[in-house]
Structure 1
Amino acid sequence: MKIGNRKIGRSEKPFIIAEMSGNHNQSLERALKIVDLAAEAGADAVKLQTYTPDTMTLDIHTGEFFIESDTNLWKGQSLYNLYQEAYTPWEWHEAIFNRCKEHGMLGFSSPFDETAVDFLEMLDVPAYKIASFENVDIPLIKKVAATGKPIIISTGMASIAELDEAVQAVRSQGNDQLVLLKCTSTYPATPENSNIATIPHMQELFSTEVGLSDHTMGVGTAIAAVTLGATVIEKHFTTSRAEGGVDAAFSMEPHELKLLVEETERAWSSLGTVTYGPTDAEKPSLEHRRSLYIGADLKAGSVLTKENVRVIRPGHGLAPKHLELVLGKTIKVDAAKGTPLSWELLL
C-alpha cells in the first residue's frame, strides 16, 4: 500500500510518523518549528489531532469528568480543560500541512468525530489515523474508510473481537488500505508492558500491514518492533521535553527522533533473507579460517605428528577436520615450516 507517494511494506524502510499532538503549546510558531525539526530528523510524516473540547467531552469539571487517578499523567485536570489546552486550532491545520509539503513530508491527522473528517477532507489529507480510544467508534471508522484513503488504527486496549469489528468496518466500505499499530495506552508505557510479540500474530490474523504506536522512552522498543515486521512507527515528538506540554513527558526530542529514523532503518536493512554459507562480502574472509600447516622444516619421508602439524590461520591448507586422518602419514617432498598441508604432499 501507499500513503501519498510513500510505499508501506516489508520491502520498504520503516515509515516514521512524528506525532505532534498538543506539544505546540498553543503556539502556531512552535507547531511549525516541530514540523521543521521532524523533517530535519528524517521523519516521513507529521500527524496532528483534529478535535475541539466540545467534540471530545462535556464542559463538566467534576465526577468522572475530572482526572483524579494518581497514575494518570494529567491528574488534577478536567477532561474539558485538558482538551482545551491540547487541541490544535483547526485554522492552523492548513499552514502546518503546507509546511510539511515544503519539506517533502506528509501531513495528516486523527479525526475524533465526523465533523473533523469533513474538515480534513476539505484539506485533502493523504491518510487518516484512528486513535486507540476511538478504535471502538465504528461509525467514525466507517466514515473515514468511506473516503477511500489509507487508514492507520492504533489498537491500544482492543480485544481481538473489537479489532475484528474495526477491520471489518474498514473493509465493509471497500477500503483495504489499512495499517494496525500495536499500542499500549499508558503514558509513558514501559517496555515490559509493550508486548510487541503481538505484531507478527496481528499480521497473520488480520492480513494487514502492522506497526507500532510507541509510548515508551528511547528507541529500543521501536527497533525490536521492526525486527518483528513492523512497517510503521509512530512516536510523539516535541522540540524539548524541558519546555513542557501535555505530552512532553513521553515525547522524543529532535536528536532522539533522528536516532530512531537511523536505527530503525538499520534494523530493517539487517533483516535480509534466510541464508547460510558465505555471502559475497564474506568470501574474502574465508582465507582467515584455520587450516592445517606444516609447523617445522621437514625432509621428504618425514612422518606427520602433532608436533609438526599445526591448526592455524590462514585457511589455505586442508580443513582441520582432516587432522586425525593425516597424522602418521609420510610426506613425499621436503616441506618448509609454514607450508599449507595438501593431499599432494602425502604419500
Structure 2
Amino acid sequence: MKKIKITNSKSVFNFSSPYIIAEIGANHNGDITLAKKLIDSAKECGADAVKFQSWKPGSIEAKEVYEKNQSYNDGDGGKKHFGSLKEMVDKYYLRDEQHIELSNYCKAIGIDFCSTPFSKEEVDLLHQLDVPFFKTASMDINNFDLLKHMASYKKPIILSTGMSTIGEIERAIKTIEDAGNNQIIILHCISIYPPKYADINLNNILMLQKVFDYPIGFSDHSIGTSIPLASIALGSCVIEKHFTLDKDMPGWDHQISANPEELREIVKEGSNIQIALGSFKRVVSEDEKEKKGKFRRSVVTAKQLFEGQIIKEEDLAVKRPGTGIQPEEAIYLLGRKLRRNIGEDELLNWSDFE
C-alpha cells in the first residue's frame, strides 16, 4: 500500500488516520480578519489544514463569462450574492500580500496552510510560501500544462476528480508522473453544491483504491457530516470539507459548508471511525478475554449427584460463570463416575471425576 508523506509530520495511505482539510476557499469574503477567525476556528476544531483558493480576476474566467453575469444573484434577494460576477471576484480574491500574511498566521498558530492555484503564477507564489502540497481543482483535471508546472516542484499533489471519467483521471496522473512526480493523492469528488445522495457514489472510493496505486480521499460538497464520515469508513485518508463560521453569511459556498460544530464532529468521529476499523485479522482483545469468565457458561449439576454415580445428559446444565468446564466439553463427562457428592446447581471440575 503506497504511503504519501503529505507534510513533515504526516503520511497518509488508504485507511490511515484521516488528514482533515478545512476548505475556506473564498468564505473569507475578502476580509483578512474573517480569514484569521476561520483559521482560528479550524484549528480549535482539530483540522490538520486550512485551504484557500489562489486566483485573480484573470485566472479563470474569460471576458465572455463576466459579460454574461452582470447580475449575479442567487434568487434569494441578493442575500448570498451581490452585483456582477466581476464585482464579487474583485472583492473576494486574495492578494499576494494576503497570502503571505495568512501563511505566516497559520505557521504561528500551528496549522497547515495550503491553497488551490489556478495559474502558473499562483503555483509559483504558493511554492515560495512553502506549502506542503498543491491541491488541484476538479476543473483542471485536463489542464495538463498547469499539472506539469505543479509537478515540477516535486511536492505532493492532491488531485480532485469531480466531473471526470476514469480515462481523464488516468491521463492526469500520467501527466504528473511523466513530469517526474509520483506523490499523488486522489480525491473522489462530485462537483455539485450540494449533490444528490444518489449521485455521490461513495463506492467509487473502493473502486479507485483498486484501480490506482495511490491513496484515495474524498472532497465533500454534501450538507452535514454523515457523508464524509461514511467515506472514512471506506478508507478515505484525506477529507476536504468547505468551512464557514455562519452558513447564512453572504458569499458563494457558506450554505454548503460545515460550521464549527460540524467540523469538530468530522474530526472527532472521523478519528474514532478510523481507530474502530482496526484490523482484518480476527483478534480477541484482552478486555474481551477478561469478559469470558463472566459472560460465558460452564457445566453445572442439574440436580444433586452422589459419589460413584455415572453421569448422564440429564444430570448436567450450563450456566454462568464461564470459569469451569466449557459447554462444548460436556460430552466428555457423559459416562464418567463421580468422586464425591455434589449439590444441585454447582460448577463441576475435572477433578470431580475418576
How does the TM-score come out when normalised to structure 2? 0.88
1:7 corresponds to 2:14: no
In the alignment, which residue of structure 2 is the partner of 1:210?
Answer: 216
Counterpart residue type for residue 319 of structure 1? Q
**Counterpart AA for 1:161:** G
Say which of 319, 325, 348 aligns to 1:341: 348
What residue in structure 2 maps to residue 231 of structure 1? 237
Superposition pairs for residues 22-33 of structure 1, below 5 Å? Answer: 22-33=26-37
1:126 to 132, 136, 146: 132
Match of 1:245 among 244, 247, 251: 251
Q: Is the 8 A contact 2:218 2:240 kept in 1?
A: yes
Shift of 1:210: 1.1
1:57 aligns with 2:61: yes
Alignment of 1:262-301 (within 5 A): 262-287=268-293, 288-301=295-308
Q: Which whole-Å CA distance do the structure 2 matches of 1:91 and 1:277 have between them? A: 54
Name the SS of the counterpart of 1:56 in structure 2: coil
Deviates more, 1:55-64 or 1:279-288: 55-64
Gaps of 5+ in 1: none
Structure 1 residues 326 and 192: alpha-carbon distance in aligned structure 2, compared to 1, 3 A threshold: farther
Point out the more displaced range, 175-184 or 323-332.
323-332
Question: Cα gap change, 1:64/1:255 in structure 2, threshold over 3 Å: closer, same or farther?
Answer: closer
Task: State the aligned residue count.
Answer: 345
* Superposed CA offset, 1:119-156 (max 9, x none): 22232222111011111111111111111111111011
Which is further off, 46-55 or 89-98?
A: 89-98
The partner residue of 1:83 within 79, 83, 89 is 89
> CA distance change for structure 1 residues 328 and 208 in 2, over 3 Å: closer, same or farther?
same
1:331 aligned counterpart, secondary structure: coil
- Relative distance call for 1:321 and 1:67 in structure 2 (3 A) is farther
In the aligned structure 2, how far is the partner of 1:301 from the partner of 1:160?
Answer: 77
- CA distance in 1: counterparts of 2:85 and 2:309, whole angstroms: 92
Q: Relative to structure 2, which stretch is displaced further, 102-111 or 4-13?
A: 4-13
Counterpart for residue 168 of structure 1: 174
**Cα separation, 1, equivalents of 2:227 and 2:342:** 58
| Most deviating of 129-138 and 295-304 | 295-304
Q: CA deviation at 1:63?
A: 4.6
The Cα RMSD (Å) is 2.7
Q: 1:171 to 1:236 in 2, by over 3 A?
A: same
Q: Which runs of 5+ in 2 are unaligned?
A: none
- How far apart, in 1, do the equivalents of 2:90 and 2:308 lie? 95
1:153 and 2:156 matched: no
Tell me, yes or no, if structure 1 residue 37 matches structure 2 residue 41.
Answer: yes
Shift of 1:64: 8.2
Inter-CA distance 4–339: structure 2 relative to 1 (3 Å threshold): same
Question: What is the alpha-carbon distance in structure 2 between the residues aligned to residue 92 and residue 337 of structure 1?
Answer: 83
CA 1:84–1:310: 2 relative to 1, 3 Å? farther
SS of 1:126's partner is: coil
Give the letter for the 2:306 counterpart: K
Tell which deviates more after alignment, 196-205 or 44-53. Answer: 196-205
TM-score under structure 1 normalisation?
0.89
Q: 1:261 aligns with which of 256, 267, 277?
A: 267
Structure 1 residue 27: Cα displacement: 1.1
SS at match of 2:272: helix
1:304 to partner: Cα distance:
4.6
User: What is the SS of the residue equivalent to 1:36?
Assistant: helix
Q: 1:169 to 1:65 in 2, by over 3 A?
A: farther
